[in-house]
Amino acid sequence: MSSPPPRNKLTVGMMVQIIQKHDQRTGNLTDGKVKRILTSSHFHPHGIKVELDSGKIGRVQNII
């Protein structure tokens, strides 16, 4: 499993795959477009937290 992308690689409007809190055990990923970037630090070991256009919140695992 590769490391999640750092904050400087993410922009609002970008398509990403996130893992939501309730999916952490199963590893299910959710696709969506970034509405807001919630994590202020440059990097987080579990992924930068974002809100998608759909209102779902999770940590970015991949950029699509």
Work out the average pLDDT over 10-28. 97
Percent of the chain with pLDDT over 70: 98
Q: Provide the pLDDT for residue 2.
A: 78
CATH annotation of 7-63: 2.30.30
Q: Provide the pLDDT for residue 54.
A: 98
Average pLDDT over all residues of the chain = 96
Express each pLDDT in 32-54 by its tens digit.
999 999 999 999 999 999 999 99
Q: Mind spelling out the 3-state secondary structure of the chain?
A: CCCCCCHHHCCCCCEEEEECHHHCCCCCCEEEEEEEECCCCCCCCCCCEEEECCCCEEEEEEEC
What are the sequence ranges of the domains in the chain?
A: 7-63
Is the pLDDT at 17 greater than 80? The verdict is yes
